Homo-oligomer: A and B are copies of this chain.
Amino acid sequence: MKVIKVGGGGGIDYEAFCKDLSTHQDFVLVHGGSALLNEVSQKLGHPPRFVTSVSGHESRFTDRRTLELFNMVYAGHTNKMIVEHLQRLGVNAVGLSGLDVRLVEGRQKTALKVIENGKKVVLRGDHSGKIQTINAKLLHLLLDNGYVPVLTPPAISTEGVAINVDGDRFAGQVAVALQAQVLLLLSNVPGLLKTLADEASLIAHIAYEDIDTYIEQVAKGRMKKKLLGAKEALSGGVNKVVLGDARGAGPVSAALAEQGTVIG
């Protein structure tokens, strides 16, 4: 079993991605949608707001309206577009969010402690959270019957409220729940880069025990979350994580052949 995450960061040709994906078997797909969400939010008069937590992680402030737009873009546009591509390619895809059958359950953080203009500020009304449980029963049922799950955030809180959770960590937890051998985290960069602007500065391998060092000293922005997702997956029993490029020809095949940053 492979869990494959394709990002939503822009610059990805989903049709080409799906074409390569369809040559593989025995996988669950997880996807993002952040670039399109930013665009749609802007156009609908509710521009995105990003905040930096006191622990240094950047995240989207997700008020209720943002969560509605999130559902529209992730579960509506991108999920169904991928399902349509895969169906056309003969893959019997079924798209689900973490809300459906409480597939991905977590704890809502209603108050966010963030740094704004150098000061600690508490923001209320956030609909984001931390994943606690993957309810994998339906995933097994689907896989046993030959269906291919295509999954997307949001998740759902124990109280039944939709919560924005990080897509890479979502994929990592799904990989753990399904005891996947490998987790691919594919986005619009070749992997973890020593120098952000230099795609040739790719770090080819990171040992499990060095992940924290890379999170603290090398990774910036979204890459911190990817390494965190990788760490959680590996500590949960997944054998290998590859951070790869979703943009080129044959992106899934390339990452399975260890092009990118191999972790573990």
Contact = CB atoms under 8 A, between A and B. Distances in A.
A128 to B, nearest CB: 15
**Copies, count:** 2
B147 A101 contact: yes
Given A76-B75, A100-B83, A145 B156 contact: no
Contacts of A89: 160
A156 B87 contact: yes
A107 interface: no
8 contacts: A75-B75, A75-B80, A83-B97, A83-B100, A84-B160, A87-B102, A95-B100, A101-B147
A23 interface: no
A96 B99 contact: no
A139 to B, nearest CB: 12
A94 B138 contact: yes
A68 interface: yes
A68 B82 CA distance: 12
Given A71-B77, A76-B72, A79-B75, A162 B84 contact: yes
Nearest to A135: B92
Contacts of A51: none
A197 interface: no
Nearest to A154: B80
Given A83-B97, A83-B100, A94-B138, 16 more contacts: A43-B43, A68-B77, A71-B77, A72-B72, A75-B76, A76-B79, A80-B154, A80-B162, A84-B99, A84-B156, A84-B162, A88-B161, A93-B100, A138-B145, A138-B147, A141-B145
